[in-house]
Amino acid sequence: MNYHFFVGNDNGNSEHDLMIDGKLIQQPNVNCRVDELPWREEQAPEGFIKNLQDQLVVTIDSPSAQPGMYYIGKFALESGEILDNIQIGIDSKSEMDLPVVNTLAQIAAVAVQKAYEEEKHIPAQLDIEVDMATALPVTQHTDETSAKFEKRFTSGRHHVTVHLGILRVSVNILFPFVKVVPEATPVIFTLQKDASGNWREGEIFAEFAASYGMEKKFNGSFFKDKRILHVDIGDGSTEYPITEGNRFLRQFVHGSHHGAGYAIEEALQEFNRLIHLPDSPRQFFSDVLKNPKHKYHARALKTLRRPLESQVKQIVQHVKKQLTKARNEVDLICVYGGGSILMQTILYPYLKELCDVREIKLFYIPAEFAVELNATGLDAFVRGKIYEALKNKAEQPA
């Protein structure tokens, strides 16, 4: 069976968010290499399909990653095995195996689910062709690193075995073209248009439109000619690009090594002490913070407050630096990313005051949309005319 997928791939330091064939996948961005399957006895393979992302085990044979068997995402995090993750401020994503392995695994998993959904049986083999847009942090994105990262995917055929219990599904994945862009910039596409290509409307804009008295028929067309300072707060970096309409202004490329992950790293030792653990990974702490019902949630918040304040102050300084460089000629500041949720109560008042004084609007993306904006933006980009033009140009003989 053959499929063609469009993939918008946001390889975050903490979370992996992808739009694959129109389906949003969100998983911890971790994996671990293992020597054997976790299942001994035969189980009904159909039982794996629905929640495959949460119990994903694959064997990878790729020209761009170390071959072997891997637990992926949530299954790896909960396995107790030694995890491979992205070390914030240290690892360069373009050189790591983890983004490649996890991307291949998630694409293969969605392909297996799609085949089962359509054919009502589990196929022996699938062949997938993928058009993909992905991103690197502004601080890591150069012509050289983006070309290198693109080549990790386009350099040959990738073979992924998806394990459904002891049943195996062979998935071959080929990337004819991949485009790597600076993080944060694809968000302009998803702020303007919805998945059908119409001006975006809805709940994402409600609070912003109300706060500036623009409720009447507000939609994404508002952003089509605006100069926006993006503040994309991740785990290990914050990006501060400025865009104008659909253009990324290269003279304002800026990013810093600040984010929620640094605050978590700083708080982790105290958190582990309070919950009587010698050690726990950063992603576990992140999961506790996301779940208000978790028994350790209050203790996690308590240990995080002071380190978060320190990160917020640094981020505000970088925002001021960008505004100064742009001579305050910015229509709005748009804040999003996983770190923006944790920081909102501390960061919002600082930025609101800063914007009011400079006659700039502040659009702090609501928490339920803040994490997925990069993935949906990349998905909009990979389906759009700019990507198509770049692909056609690359296919023409030199």
Model pLDDT for residues 145-189, shown as the tens digit of each residue: 999 999 999 999 999 999 998 899 999 999 999 999 988 788 998
Helix (H) or strand (E) holding 125: strand 125-136
Does residue 91 register a pLDDT over 90?
A: no
pLDDT in the model for residue 379: 94
Contacts of 335 (CB under 8 A, 6+ apart): 231, 233, 347, 351, 362, 363, 364, 365
> Which fold, 2-182?
Nucleotidyltransferase; domain 5 (3.30.420)
Sign of CA dihedral 122, 128, 140, 376: negative
Helix (H, G, I), strand (E, B) or coil at 370: helix
Which residue reads 């847009």 in tokens? 133
Q: Is 247 exposed, middle or buried (0-12, 13-18, 19+ CB in 10 A)?
A: exposed
The DSSP code for 256 is E
CA dist., res. 292 & res. 301, Å (int)? 10
Residue 141 pLDDT class (50, 70, 90 cuts): confident
Share of the chain above pLDDT 90, in %: 66
Return d(Cα 215, Cα 374) in angstroms, integer. 25
What's 52's DSSP letter?
G
Supply the pLDDT for residue 235: 81
Backbone Cα Rg of the chain = 21
pLDDT at 90: 62
Using CA atoms, how far apart are residues 162 and 56, in angstroms rounded to an integer? 8
Is pLDDT of 8 > 90? Answer: yes
Give this prediction's pTM: 0.88
Q: How many CA atoms lie within 13 A of 117 on its CB side?
A: 9
pLDDT > 70 fraction of the chain, expressed in percent and rounded: 99
CA distance 362 to 356: 9
- Residue spans in the chain of domains classed CATH 3.30.420.40: 2-182, 187-375
SS3 16: strand
**Which pLDDT does position 187 carry in this prediction?**
93
Q: What is the tens place of the pLDDT at every residue in 215-236?
A: 888 999 999 999 999 999 988 7
Stretch 269-275: mean pLDDT, rounded? 88
CATH assignment, 187-375: 3.30.420.40
- Give the whole-angstrom CA distance, residue 16 versus residue 227: 28
